[in-house]
Structure 1
Amino acid sequence: MSTQHGPRVGRPPHHTGPEELVQTAAMARRFYLEGRSKTEIAQEFGISRFKVARMLETALHNGLIRLEVRLPAELDAERSDALRTRYNLRHCVVLASTEGEPGGAVLATRRLGAVAAGLLTEIVTEADVLGLVWGPEIEALGRELTVLARCKVVQLCGVTPLRPVDSSAVEAVRRAASIARGPVYAIHAPLLLPDGAAARMLRRQPGITEAVNQFRHLTKAVVSVGAWGPGLSTIYDALDDDAREQYRSLGTCAEVVGQLLDADGRPVAPELTERIIAISFDELRDVPDVILLADGEERAAATSAALKTGLFNGIVTHTAVAEHLLR
């Protein structure tokens, strides 16, 4: 008995026809635009949830569906994500740098303040106690802040009058508290005192004591970083040339709330601690969210040192700084 082999009979190759295309488009609208689940879509079209998933996946692969993530041009999404991953940060926003543009440095600080203000609007709740340091970035943040949950606002350090500014730290803190419609704890005192005795005396003043006592209740803090150079650090500008060179020789490259750091994030001038009125590193470590504002490429190395302290779980900075940190 012989068997003749004829043409093989079976299911023809799959061909995506017009009906499947329009159905896939409808499913995509349901899933990506309307937020419907794959189970709901499957019930509507009378197919399995797995077939819905397969059709959407195939449509993405073949280009029928194209997903675009569009952010404002000033936000650098790629470096924000890379920096967040590299340093295990909870909050990370990187702005596209504006070097070379007219008014670049001033504009960059203003934009940094605006984005930091937006971040605070996003993450601060009525259960928070918010701390702010002194600095040009905080001044910019204060000017751009328009909405904030009702909370306490605490100034984290004294100020230095050596650099001309549009508004003082006290005014920036008061503006934040006014917008938050909550109590304000300001520090009407210099950041750096001539000696430890003068600093201890000021810390005992009623208004300053009230602010310092709030440090242990902080839940969110915004801190800036200074580099060891003129106009880049409040402590640098407050010292004489001999002291500046002395601390430079010890490896100082950064300043955070009056503390001087070397490139590895280690304190190099513990004797200055007695002379400053500011939150301590030990107190900052107890704050659940501490966000670093790093303004300008000239502070890139200082920002690296600050992150090595382990004090920060958030950062707002520029592309040029982010590139340095990622290298």
Structure 2
Amino acid sequence: MDGMSTQHRPRVGRPPHHTGPEELVQTAAMARRFYLEGRSKTEIAEEFGISRFKVARMLETALHNGLIRLEVRLPAELDAERSDALRSRYDLRHCVVFTSAQQDPGGAVLATQRLGSVAAALLAEIVTDSDVLGLVWGPEIEAVGRELTVLARCRVVQLCGVTPLRPVDNNAVEAVRRAASIARGPVYPIHAPLLLPDGATARTLRRQPGIAEAVGQFQHLTKALVTVGAWEPGLSTIYDALGADEREQYRSRGTCAEVVGQLLDADGRPVAPELTERIIAIGFDELRRVPDVILLADGAERAAATSAALRTGLFNGIVTNTAVAEHLLR
């Protein structure tokens, strides 16, 4: 033994790492190349004569120490955090949440306008020349039609009739025609009510040439925009079309939502199969074959109905506002 105790021996090895000015300016240069110029870590490593693993480590350390700060900026009306949370929670392909203040005067109208604007921008982003786009009837779709300015060349198909209170609704057909006009493609409108008095009348109308042509396009759909109604006055076309006795009958069965004329309970199960014979609309089995079905929903009063709609498994996308998103994430 050399007489020196182990605890008093000097430590052998590398001195503590000290980040000096040269490493700082090198890291800053690497950050500019990687984050601003789009250079790969391998390219940066070759330029500076180090391994790409060291480049990765230096960039990671710089982020941790605050030398590099990343900032993600979105337009103020888009809620990135809730959009990502909702996409993950419901395993969605398309998910956009926008902010809205419905407590303000005119808030509900403004929310629908904003929904139309965001949905129109989403269509401009994801629709291609090879798509066949389906649109249901509803105020939200009318808002989308007003906001559309760009759309790829595609076929546009109306997916359902309109409220019986307005048998041939010019606004509903106009929204579909406007989309087709912007897309410079063929249009397939449905000039008929959504709900008929009985199944025989509905079957007769479905055989009419124009309607039959539109229904024949359902099998070719690749993208569809669908809205959801809540089982309350003014929030569902079917609710408003029925008499008081029928409304309460379906409410007693647990109806809380309506999607393309189908009534759903809170778990997304159909509760009124007999109504199917009386409506002119795309069916759930046909919707399930469409690759992209996007739900449009705005307003806290539709939050529970939106939850029911998502439980059907029909949708892989949603455009909604913060009030609905918060309900869905709870």
When normalised by structure 2's length, the TM-score is 0.95
2:256 match: 253
Q: Secondary structure at the match of 2:294?
A: strand
Q: Give 1:104's match in structure 2, choosing from 103, 107, 112.
A: 107
Q: Secondary structure at the match of 1:20?
A: helix
2:44 match: 41
Identity of aligned residues (%): 87
Structure 1 contact 136–165 (Cα < 8 Å) conserved: no
2:232 match: 229
Structure 2 contact 167–192 (Cα < 8 Å) conserved: no
**Residues 255-270 of structure 1: pairs in structure 2 closer than 5 A:** 255-270=258-273
Shift of 1:171: 0.3
Q: Give 1:284's match in structure 2, choosing from 283, 287, 304.
A: 287
For structure 1, which runs of at least 5 residues remain unmatched after alignment?
none
Q: Structure 1: how far apart are the matches of 2:286 and 2:169?
A: 30
Q: Give 2:67's match in structure 1, choosing from 54, 64, 81.
A: 64
More displaced 10-residue stretch of structure 1: 95-104 or 136-145 = 95-104
Structure 2 contact 162–169 (Cα < 8 Å) conserved: no
2:286 corresponds to which letter in structure 1?
A: E
1:89 partnered with 2:92 = yes
Structure 2 contact 167–193 (Cα < 8 Å) conserved: no
User: Given the superposition, is the C-alpha separation of residues 307 and 7 from structure 1 closer, same or farther in structure 2, using an over 3 Å criterion?
Assistant: closer
Over aligned residue pairs, what C-alpha RMSD do you find?
A: 1.9
2:238 corresponds to which letter in structure 1?
A: I
1:182 partnered with 2:180 = no
Q: CA offsets, 1:12-43, max 9 Å, x none?
A: 32211111111111100100111100010011
Q: CA offsets, 1:103-136, max 9 Å, x none?
A: 2101100000111111111111111100000001
Shift of 1:164: 12
2:183 corresponds to which letter in structure 1?
A: A
1:202 corresponds to which letter in structure 2?
A: L
1:220 partnered with 2:223 = yes
More displaced 10-residue stretch of structure 1: 253-262 or 239-248 = 239-248
Shift of 1:210: 0.3
Shift of 1:224: 0.0
1:93 corresponds to which letter in structure 2?
A: V
1:24 partnered with 2:22 = no
Q: Structure 1: how far apart are the matches of 2:150 and 2:282?
A: 26
User: Given the superposition, is the C-alpha separation of residues 284 and 2 from structure 1 closer, same or farther in structure 2, using an over 3 Å criterion?
Assistant: closer
Structure 1 contact 139–167 (Cα < 8 Å) conserved: no
When normalised by structure 1's length, the TM-score is 0.96
More displaced 10-residue stretch of structure 1: 157-166 or 264-273 = 157-166
Q: Structure 2: how far apart are the matches of 1:42 and 1:231?
A: 63
Shift of 1:219: 0.5
1:253 corresponds to which letter in structure 2?
A: C
1:294 partnered with 2:307 = no
More displaced 10-residue stretch of structure 1: 266-275 or 9-18 = 9-18
Shift of 1:180: 0.4
Shift of 1:162: 3.0
Structure 2 contact 79–96 (Cα < 8 Å) conserved: yes
Q: Structure 2: how far apart are the matches of 1:6 and 1:300?
A: 70
- Number of positions where the alignment pairs a residue of Structure 1 with one of Structure 2: 327
For structure 2, which runs of at least 5 residues remain unmatched after alignment?
none
1:156 partnered with 2:147 = no
Structure 1 contact 128–218 (Cα < 8 Å) conserved: yes
2:143 match: 140
2:57 match: 54
Structure 1 contact 153–184 (Cα < 8 Å) conserved: yes
